[in-house]
Amino acid sequence: MKSEIEQLRRELEQHNYNYYVLSAPSISDLEFDMLLKQLQKLEEQYPEFADPHSPTQRVGSDITSGFEQVTHQYPMLSLGNTYSEGEVQDFYDRVRRGLNEDFELVCELKYDGTSISVTYENGLLVRAVTRGDGEKGDDVTANVKTIRSIPLRLSGNYPEKFEIRGEILMPWSVFDELNREREAQEEQLFANPRNAASGTLKLQNSAVVASRKLDAYFYYMLGENVPSDLHFQNLQAAKAWGLKISDATRVCKNLNDVFEFIKYWDIERKNLPVATDGIVLKVNSLSQQKNLGFTAKSPRWAISYKFQAEKAVTRLNSVSYQVGRTGAVTPVANLDPVQLSGTTVRRASLHNADIIEALDLYIGDMVFVEKGGEIIPKITAVDKEARFLLGDKVQFIKNCPECGASLVRYEGEAAHYCTNENACPPQIKGKMEHFVSRKGMNIDGLGSETINLLYQNDLLRNIADIYDLKITDLTRLERLGTKSAYNIQTGCEKSKEIPFERVVFALGIRFVGETIAKKLAFAFKNIEALEKATFEELIAVDEIGERIAQSVVQYFAEPVNMETLNRLKAFGLQMSLSEDKMKAHGTSLAGLSIVISGTFSLHSRDEYKTMIEQNGGKNVGSVSAKTSFILAGENMGPEKLKKAEKLNVKLLSESDFLEMIK
């Protein structure tokens, strides 16, 4: 009986592959369902032959628990964007200068879905993780196993273990049908297939995920034993193992090949069954990719080209104003509904007062709307010939629409700001939402709706109040049960273990993002030193400019902020760098300015940059009289070499550098 069950599984897996990957079914849906029921019946009769990778397991379960956070073995970075052939040319030239040798590019369609990383071991799907914050994501394996185009079991000569990345998508036909059902049930409609796919993948009920008929394409393989040094060949190998790889993938020898690919798919993509928003260009050779390395946010060996946005014409009915957590006031145009790139657009950003003035807007104007990068709707022009029975001219407001405080515009800034930082409701709630976010203190249960509810009931007025919340206060509110209250309290306790650098980010100091927060944390080691840091001490830190330094000084000069900080300290949050991180940062390069040039065999450029920072050194991009030495690899840039000789700057090899920092 075991052999009969295994034979049925193999047969169903092949039919599944034919239908969902090759789009070439060899049997009818009815015949497939009959075979599947036959297998289900046999598995029920002989439970000793159960297999979690059986085709019968793709229906999902209604008892999926919360998602576990998993750290990515290889960070999932985002790509830099280009919007013109000139910017593609610039990317090509940068790669050529960085490599100083011949290279190929692989062009692929940029599918508009949600990113996923899937791990296979011994040919079996063992884990699927979302992008998350790039360093860690949610384990959504149970949900991904319901997607028919993703094989649970591979065939052929695959590595023992590898990771493959891709995009999970909701086809247009499924998206339209889902929205029709939601409309009939008077539920909120999904804005686009990308949001629908992302929301579906995060559902706690994998049976519902299975019913949503998601699809997937894979585009990049990682691991110690991938088949080839060529990215394109690895994709073809993955295709042979049963993974779904787009046929719209081409090796390009030169820029003309790239531009031909872009022009073809800019038109042809509109006939695809799934959403796309551009082209991805990657250096084909993995060893060349390693030599090019990464910036803080994206690889230097890949970039995306975004298609020109579609445009539509509609009527401007009114302008409203939104206040963000930093006090920035954003004008929003309210429009007659119009279809654009597969979605209904009713609102569009007007960005700032300068944009409004440049457009010369009047209420009632017919305006041209497009989606920048096909994501954010914006007004690009006015059809002045169509003006008829116009209303008032649109003038930027002078007072905050939420609290009435006067707005200011700082020198060099395009935005207007509400200065009532500690009493303007959207700013207060926005700061709290930022504080509890996943990249901040990661406190579950405190979403925007809950924070708004607690604010309305006078239980929250600043971020420190979060740690004063009591179970009895929470449970007396509508929409908050005992379980939710305990989840919030548990989240608050767990957040006290969040490392210092994330606490700095969570404080919401203007202009201090994740990267800058880490720089400040590692430079000053604890909150007391950061509080006392002078403007001059701050700008001496790598990547800290005058604007950021001034913002940090102003933050700690505010008595309200210092009172909040003192309360957070008393609650037990991490206010200093952990001992292991302090130990990991040596001082062998303290005070030295170092330039990296050339290609390396032992580590990538980014790894060397990290080593320099961890040992107290400063990475600089150009050679000057202040350069301490150059970490020189093969094919060092001739201009840097010439300048180093002229200024008598020392060159250090890889091995000498590694010996230096031990």
Q: What is the CATH number of the domain that holds 619?
A: 3.40.50.10190
337 has a pLDDT exceeding 50: yes
Is 660 buried (19+), middle (13-18) or exposed (0-12) by CB count in 10 A? middle
Residues 375 and 465 in one domain: no
Residues 485 and 504 in one domain: no
Q: Taking a C-beta distance cutoff of 8 angstroms, is the pair 626, 590 a contact?
A: no
Q: Which domain holds residue 651?
A: 593-661
Residues 299 and 345 in one domain: no
Residues 268 and 337 in one domain: no
- Examine residue 402 and state whether it is found in any structural domain, yes or no: no
* Mean pLDDT in residue range 635-659: 86
Q: At what angle do helices 559-571 and 546-557 cross, to 10 degrees?
A: 80
Residues 460 and 576 in one domain: no
**Can you count the helices (H) and strands (E) in the chain?**
25, 22
% of the chain at pLDDT higher than 90: 50
pLDDT at 529: 93
Residues 213 and 288 in one domain: yes
Mean pLDDT highest for which of 196-210, 386-400, 469-483? 386-400
Residues 547 and 439 in one domain: no
* Matching residue, tokens 């406190």: 443
* Matching residue, tokens 């000793």: 48
Residues 78 and 210 in one domain: yes
264 has a pLDDT exceeding 90: yes
- Examine residue 153 and state whether it is found in any structural domain, yes or no: yes
**198-207, 229-238, 276-285 — which is least confidently predicted?**
198-207
* Mean pLDDT in residue range 433-446: 91
pLDDT at 469: 94
Task: List the one residue out of 106, 76, 118, 97 whose CA is nearest residue 286.
Answer: 106
* Mean pLDDT in residue range 634-643: 80
In the listed set 471, 495, 519, which residue is the last one of a domain according to the structure? 495
499 has a pLDDT exceeding 90: yes
Helices marked H in 386-495 — which ranges?
Answer: 425-436, 448-456, 471-475, 482-495
Residues 279 and 338 in one domain: no
- Examine residue 136 and state whether it is found in any structural domain, yes or no: yes
Tell me the chain's radius of gyration from C-alpha atoms: 28
Question: What's the chain's average pLDDT?
Answer: 87
Rounded-to-10 torsion of CA 30, 31, 36, 39: 140
253 as an active site residue: the answer is no
In the listed set 442, 473, 495, which residue is the last one of a domain according to the structure? 495
3-state secondary structure of 630: strand
pLDDT at 583: 65
**17-26, 292-301, 507-516, 579-588 — which is least confidently predicted?**
17-26
Whole-prediction pTM:
0.55
Residue bearing the bigger pLDDT, 358 or 375: 358
> What CATH number does residue 444 fall under?
1.10.150.20
* Mean pLDDT in residue range 505-529: 89
Residues 642 and 563 in one domain: no
What tens digit of pLDDT does each residue of 50-72 get? Answer: 777 787 776 554 444 457 888 89
> What's the distance, CA 434 to chain centroid?
16
Q: Taking a C-beta distance cutoff of 8 angstroms, is the pair 134, 179 a contact?
A: no
In the listed set 251, 281, 306, which residue is the last one of a domain according to the structure? 306
> What CATH number does residue 86 fall under?
3.30.470.30
* Mean pLDDT in residue range 201-223: 89
Annotated catalytic residue, options 37, 41, 110, 145: 110
Residue bearing the bigger pLDDT, 40 or 260: 260
pLDDT at 59: 53
593 has a pLDDT exceeding 70: yes
Residues 570 and 487 in one domain: no
Residues 110 and 212 in one domain: yes
Structural domain count of the chain: 6
